[in-house]
Amino acid sequence: MDPTRLRRRHLVLASTLALGLTGTASASGPDAPLWLEQAKDPRAQAWVAQQNEHTLQAMRRQGDLAASEQRILDVLNSNQRIPYVSHIGHYYYNFWRDKDHPHGLYRRTTLQAYRQARPQWETVLDLDALNRREGKSWVWKGAQCLRPDYQRCLISLSPDGGDAVEVREYDLASHRFVKDGFHLPVAKSTVDWIDRDHLFVATTLGKDAETRSSYPRVVSIWQRGTPLASRVPVYQGKTSDMAVSGSHDGTPGFERNLISVSHDFYHSQQYLLKADHSLQAIDVPEDASASPYREWLLIQTRSPWTVGGHSWPAGTLLVSRFDDYLAGKRELTPLFLPDAHRALAGAVWTRHHLIVTVLHDVKSELLVLTPQADGHWSSEPLAGAPQNSSVEVVDTDPDHDDEYWMTVTGFLTPPSLARGVIGEIRPEVIKQSPAFFATEGLAVHQYFATSRDGTKVPYYLVGPKDLKLDGRNPTLEYGYGGFEVSLTPGYNPVMGREWLARGGVYVLANIRGGGEYGPTWHSAALRENRPKAYQDFAAVAEDLVARKITSAPYLAAMGGSNGGLLAGNMLVSYPQLYGAIVSQVPLLDMKRFVKLQAGTSWIAEYGNPDKPSDWAFMKTFSPFQLARAGQPYPATLFITTSSDDRVGPGQARAMKARLDDLGYKNMYFFESAGGGHGSGADNTETARFWALNYQFLWQHLKQAPPADRAD
């Protein structure tokens, strides 16, 4: 579980009088009522039930919540959606949910059948049938299938949609779980096939198995037919590490075993595990990523690196021959060099080529890089890839050929899925999503706001072509700004139906802390510089007002997870800019986050509140501590899930309780049961989650006074 993978990874109402609750939890002073942090505490469950009912009644009273839920559910259950596939062996696999299969089907088909408008699918695993048989409510979390015959898979199932999973061995030929096969009970685990009879296992099961971040700290090899307790440890990390994992590369002729040790989100070490279980370090900077493939080693820098007489900037992609590098040679070839406008967004191998995705001012470009006989690498645009769109390679099969699957989308462009073969077949659209909302009369613009320190911050605006510049357009500003996550244009049918189709303007803010301009854009808002992300978001809001697109009573802010922290900071530090705020599955109490769930894994991003020197700056962006009575806070919805085992629901609960205690009457809270650190364990739950978001925003922005009477 390396840092890159981690980055890229919702009652019964009791008597409130009996519990001493009168609509709020008692929280004298800036201290959280700790029982609210316990997801299954009876008092907490009663408090959540009361809050949920209050919010539901308010949303139903002022709008048709049920109609909104149905519109969203129609999208989520539509059989016209693209069934995205992964090429595994002779088949193309897809996981699918709809009205008849709320928990989903794992299914497969052939390429010939997939080309048809209505492919014939073979069901591999019916999760709803499994749940009926077992009396469970399993949520699909993926399958890892054994190369090269792909007859056995390790299937991960979550009891509620959280990160903890049960792992079971499955036979693709018989469509049955393997009797007495590999099986891990529910835990935070990572597994990988070594061969048919051996697995790499890193799990939180057992004594001293967890890091302080609640991830595995020991990598072991587990042999078929032996109890889990007899697995052989091959690496033991420190409790202060974030996570460890083992992986096997089964590429014929290049078989190798690797151990990955993540010290935090941005610092890791990889080792080659030898036959005698000794380790050889892949010697790259700890903040760089190293990725072997066949004879090659890819290295991506996150900070400047001088090596072999050359200096490479942060965000550079380098390649070397793997064996030469391990032998000490440092002959590195740059495959991508960043500049002020271009950043590396991803790289994926086909059999003979490397496809690199570049963001050029948050617009996608795809390049094909190919090693030449003389040691150089050629570079050319991917033939047939569209310009000025969000383009992503979603699947390749590097064991066999140069096939790739590419998705193309935009704010107003329903996604398409194309298949190509480099050098043989230009990308051919195989599947096309229908339009789920009308786009006629809508337009997309990119603008740049100027932040407090002079930094130019890009943002996208989606709204009517004939937008009236009177400051009265209901506008939703969305952002994230953390963990080097890039926000790019994409088709969002739920947002389109519930916001754009009702006359709203949508804004996507590419603030610092994200990865839109590479590692330096991210590091500019790390730790003590975190407020720069919020200054950027505020600058976008101010730019929208300056352009007379909107004004504070008509402007809303929304974000989830780290973006929920962003939304919380806009509430307590920039309340004058907004008429409503939504904070989803949020982090909000920076003093206590290290004590909850996977909190310590985020110290590299935010700092350590237990260190006085770090708390000195962290308290400047901790909404729970910054909340004060008598402020012009806009109406706010905190929305989370009971099953979130990453951030946990306690942060949102405590923040709502504190604001109630401070006397605010315009704060709302809702907690779904399932979905983990997401929006629902099934489509119905997801539809409720998002309907509440948009219903809340429309109610509170529509009630705003005219712009000429706004402060």
Closest-CA residue to 184 (of 165, 212, 207): 165
Is 561 one of the annotated active-site residues of the chain?
yes
Residue in this structure with the two tokens 């244009």, named with its chain if needed: 489
d(CA 331, CA 214): 39
d(CA 218, CA 220): 6
Assign 3-state DSSP to the chain and report helix, strand, coil percentages, each to 5.
Answer: 25, 35, 40
- Other residues' Cβ atoms within 10 Å of the Cβ of residue 626: 18
Reported as type and span, the H/E element at residue 96 is strand 91-98
Contact 481, 513 (CB under 8 A): yes
CA dihedral angle for residue 635, residue 639, residue 645, residue 651, rounded to 10 degrees: 20
Residue environment code for 509-531, b if the CB has 16+ CB neighbours within 10 A, otherwise e: bbbbbbbbbbbbbbbbbbebebb
d(CA 218, CA 246): 9
CA dihedral angle for residue 300, residue 301, residue 307, residue 311, rounded to 10 degrees: 120
Residue in this structure with the two tokens 């040790």, named with its chain if needed: 261
The one catalytic residue in 561, 583, 622, 643 is 561
Is 416 one of the annotated active-site residues of the chain?
no
Instruction: Give me the count of residues in the chain.
Output: 711
Angle between helices 65-76 and 683-702 (to 10 degrees): 140
Query: Which whole-number Å values give the CA distances from 419 to 83, 310, 407, 426, 515, in the listed order?
Result: 14, 39, 9, 8, 27
Contact 639, 584 (CB under 8 A): yes
Transcribe 3-47 into DSSP letters: HHHHHT---PPPPHHHHT-SSS----SS---GGGG-TT-HHHHHH
The one catalytic residue in 87, 248, 677, 700 is 677
Closest-CA residue to 189 (of 133, 246, 148): 246
Contact 587, 561 (CB under 8 A): yes
Burial of 333 (0-12, 13-18, 19+ CB in 10 A): middle
Tokens (6 digits) for 408? 């193309």
Tokens (6 digits) for 656? 């709502």
Contact 31, 589 (CB under 8 A): no
Secondary structure in 3-state letters for 272-329: EECCCCCEEECCCCCCCEEEEECCEEEEECCCCEEECCEEECCCCEEEEEHHHHHCCC
Residues assigned a catalytic role: 561, 677
